[in-house]
Amino acid sequence: MSTARIAVVTSLAHAEHDPDLAPVVAALRAEGLAAEPVAWDADRPGWEAFDLAVIRSTWDYSERLGEFLAWADTTARATRLFNPAPVVRWNSDKRYLLELAERGVPVVPTRILEPGAPAAEADFDRPAGVVVKPAVSAGARDTAWYEPGRSSDALRHARMLLDEGRTVMVQPYLPLVAEGERALVFVAGAFSHAIRKGPVLTEPGVIDNDRVAHPGITVYEPTGAELRTARAALAAAPLRTACSSPGSTWPWTRPGSRW
């Protein structure tokens, strides 16, 4: 029986900046698997030669979304891709929050502004301030929070993104943001572990695309409410259908996260 070949998928721009890439590959090799890091945007990597491609650090997807989603579709036809291409597509645009809300999952109240739609200061008037971000983004790129009374600045930020043809999300600023982000990780539908990332939006009104995207990561013990919310999100997301194609025997994974 031949050894399974696994591509741990990264990108040309980020392979050297992913501290977990080498340990992941080493752990897979220790289990007797033929694992290697492969950039999604490398020239002709030959995805059909792999039994499985697992997305790891394709962090430039938000800047090249159309190209990345086309890669996901093509790669899924050549080998097994985790997560599957339909899940990757759904999860790449944060408008999925609206779908989760419709399914009864607790989410941060979110208003969507599409390019060409009218926007006014009243859209950014919230008692605790607002967060403005693109619907497609990673690492808090082009994201900022605005204190009460700075609706004009928030509107200016939104119009900058809208003028670039990008969909904008407007959310009320939640004080819990200052405590950092909690990420709950599930493997094959079962809770595995959780981490806490330090806060990123620490200065109001500042768009800082050079900030550390996930500062101060520590082990975290989730509350019962957080576990229930994560499980509700997993149940509402289009995962099992996407992963239940005929003949599919590989397990699937997807992180579930909550502020």
pLDDT, tens only, 18-62: 999 999 999 999 999 999 999 999 987 799 999 999 999 999 999
User: CA-CA distances (angstroms) from residue 198 to 2, 113, 146?
Assistant: 43, 28, 19
Record the tokens describing residue 51, joined without a space.
Answer: 């039994």
- Give me the phi and psi of 113, to 5 degrees please: -115, 120
Q: What CATH class has 5-82?
A: alpha beta
Tens digits of per-residue pLDDT, 56-109? Answer: 999 999 999 999 999 999 999 999 999 899 999 999 999 999 999 999 999 999
Name the percent of the chain lying above pLDDT 90.
77
Which of 3.30.1490.20, 1.10.3210.10, 3.20.20.70, 3.30.70.580 is the CATH number of 96-176? Answer: 3.30.1490.20
Write down the pLDDT at residue 33. Answer: 96
C-alpha triplet 153, 159, 162: angle, nearest 5°: 150
Tens digits of per-residue pLDDT, 217-228? Answer: 999 999 999 999
Question: Among 82, 108, 79, which Cα is nearest to 188's?
Answer: 82
If you average pLDDT over every residue of the chain, what do you get?
Answer: 89
Residues of the chain with CATH 3.40.50: 5-82
Q: Any bridge partners for residue 66, and if so which?
A: none
Q: How many angstroms from the chain centroid is the CA of residue 56?
A: 11
Model confidence pTM above 0.95: no
